[in-house]
Structure 1
Amino acid sequence: MAHAIWNGSINFGLVTIPVRLYTAVRENEIHFNMLHKTDKGRINFQRVCSIDGKKVDWNDIVKGYEVDDGDYVIITDEDIKKVSVEATQSIDITEFVDLADINPILFDKPYYLEPEKKGRHAYALLRDALASAGKVGIARVVIRTKEYLCALKPNGNALILELMHFPDEIVAADEYDFPPANEKVPAAEMKAAKLLIDTMAAKFKPEQFRDNYREEMMAMIQARA
C-alpha cells in the first residue's frame, strides 16, 4: 500500500470529508550517477566560492536571491519562516466551475484523494455530483509549507486533486508567432485535412504506448549487470 503524503479533509460549506492524498503519477525516468572511469568511484563536488576559489563550510553558506547581475539580497531562515504558509489539514473549496472553462495548460500534477471510512458516502456524493454537473472544485491546499491552487475532479471511482499553475506562471501565447485562428484556408485543403483526420481517427488506448527509450536502456543495463 502506498504511503499517504498528506492527511486532511475536503471542506465546502458545512461539509467536511476526511481524505488521504496519494501521488497519481509514478516517475520512471532513468537517472545516472557520475563515476570515476577507472574504478567506478562516485564523484563528489566541493562547495567552492566563485570569488576567492576557497572551499566553503556549510556554516558560512547563506541563501541569496539575484535581483541584478551579481547583486544578491540575502534571505535568512527567519525571513523564510515569516512568509511561510501555516500548514493546514484542509482542502478548502472556494467555488465550483465548468471544467471546460479551465485552460488545460493550467493543470500541473495529479494526486488521488482517498476517503477515510467515515467519509466514503459524502465522498461518493461529491464525486458523482461533480461528474453529473460537469464541474470541478477550485481550492487551495497547503502541502508541507507551500500553498497550492488546485482543482478537484471526478475520475472514474476517484476524486483527483490536480495541482495548478498560478496565472503568472503561464507564458502568454501572444509572445509567439502563431497563425490567426480566423485565417482563411481554401475549402479543398480543409476538406483534405479533415479526410486525413477521419482516416486516422481512433479510440485512445494509452496502454498501447510505451516508453521505448526506457525499456531499451533498462534492457541494456540488465544485460550488463
Structure 2
Amino acid sequence: MHTMWKGSISFGLVNIPIKLHAATENKDIKLRQLHEECKSPIQYKKRCPVCEREVENEEIVKAYEYAKNKFVVLDEEDLETLKKEQEDKAVEILDFVKLEEIDPIYFERSYYMSPTEGGSKAYGLLRQALKDTNKIGVAKIIIRSKEQLAIIRVYENTLLMETIHFPDEVRQVQNVANVPEETELSKKELSTAVTLIDQLTEEFDPEKYKDEYRSALLDLIEAKKNNEEITTAKEKPKPDNVTDLMEALEKSLEKTKGTKKKTTKPKTPAKSKTKTKKKTS
C-alpha cells in the first residue's frame, strides 16, 4: 500500500514510529466530458478575469478572503514552515474513551497504521492494551496541511486511525428546517413499525451489499464497446505556417482599414478665359 504519512504516535512515554495507508478507496466511475460536435475532451483553464488571459501555476498565490474582495496573501514559504513545525511533532494520544461515546456523524476517513523499523513491539503493546480495555485513543494529527482530530482503534489485527470532525465542523441540528418536535402516533401504528423492524433485523454483513448502479454502468460501457459504439477524439490540427501567415496578414489589413487619413489634392484655381471680339470693317 502507498504510504501517505510517516511519523510517530506516542502515549505516555511510549513512542511508536508508524506509517499511514489509506484504508478505503473511491470506486466511482469517472466520466469525461466531451465536445458533442468533435468528441474531444473539454479543457478547463485557469484564467484571470481582470488581465483577460490564462494564468500559469507559478503566477498563482494563496490568500485568505477576510471580507468581500479583501485578501491576506500567504507566502508559500510561511505555509511550508508552519506545516513542517507541526508535522515534526509526534502525534500524542490525548485521551482514551469508549468508541460508542462518539456519534458516527463525526467520522471522516480511515487509515491503516503500520509500524516502521523498531516500532513493532510498541505497536503490539498499544494494540493489546486497547483490546483489553475496550477503549480507543483520541489524538491530533496534521494531514495535507490541515490539523485533524483522530481516533485510534483496533480493526481486526491492525491499528486503525480515523480522522473525525471537530465539533464546530458539525452543523447544528437545530438549523434543520421542518423537523417536527412531536408526532401523534397510535399504539397500533407504532407496534406495526416495531414488528417490521424486528422482522428485518439481522447481523450486519458488509459483503451482502453491492453497488448495483456501478455494476450496471460498467455493463452498459462494456456492451457499447462490444457493439463498437465507440468514438475517438479528433487530434488537434497542427498549425500551417502558410495559413497562419495569410491569417495574420488579413487581420493586419483589417486593423489598418480606416486608420489612414484620405489625402486630397488641393484644387488649382481655374484659368480665366478672355474672349476677343473680331473687328468689323
TM over 0.5: yes
User: What is the Cα deviation at residue 69 of structure 1?
Assistant: 3.7
Match of 1:84, SS state, is helix
> Equivalent residue for 2:110?
110
User: What is the Cα deviation at residue 144 of structure 1?
Assistant: 4.7
Tell me whether 34-43 or 89-98 shows the greater mean CA deviation: 34-43
For residues 200-219 of structure 1, the aligned pairs below 5 Å read 200-219=200-219
Determine which structure has greater relative contact order: mean sequence separation of CA pairs < 8 Å that are 6+ residues apart, divided by chain length: 1
For residues 1-225 of structure 1, the aligned pairs below 5 Å read 2-51=1-50, 53-81=52-80, 83-84=82-83, 86=85, 87-88=87-88, 90-116=90-116, 118-177=118-177, 178-180=179-181, 185-225=185-225
| Whole-angstrom CA distance in 2 between matches of 1:8 and 1:62 | 29
| Whole-angstrom CA distance in 2 between matches of 1:39 and 1:105 | 45
- Scaled by the length of structure 1, the TM-score of the pair is 0.84
Question: Can you give the 5+ residue segments of structure 1 that lack an aligned partner in the other structure?
Answer: none
User: What is the Cα deviation at residue 32 of structure 1?
Assistant: 1.9
| Whole-angstrom CA distance in 2 between matches of 1:162 and 1:60 | 36
CA contact (8 A) 1:85 1:142 kept: no
Change (3 A) 1:134 1:29: same
| Whole-angstrom CA distance in 1 between matches of 2:183 and 2:102 | 25
Which has the higher Rg, Structure 1 or Structure 2? 2
Change (3 A) 1:107 1:123: same
Change (3 A) 1:124 1:190: farther
| Whole-angstrom CA distance in 1 between matches of 2:189 and 2:110 | 39
User: What is the Cα deviation at residue 171 of structure 1?
Assistant: 0.3
User: What is the Cα deviation at residue 202 of structure 1?
Assistant: 1.3
Change (3 A) 1:122 1:111: same
Bigger strand share: 1
Give the partner amino acid of 1:94: L
Question: Can you give the 5+ residue segments of structure 2 that lack an aligned partner in the other structure?
Answer: 226-281
User: What is the Cα deviation at residue 108 of structure 1?
Assistant: 0.5
User: What is the Cα deviation at residue 163 of structure 1?
Assistant: 0.7
- Scaled by the length of structure 2, the TM-score of the pair is 0.69
In the comparison of the two structures, how many residue pairs are matched? 223
% same residue? 35
Change (3 A) 1:9 1:65: closer
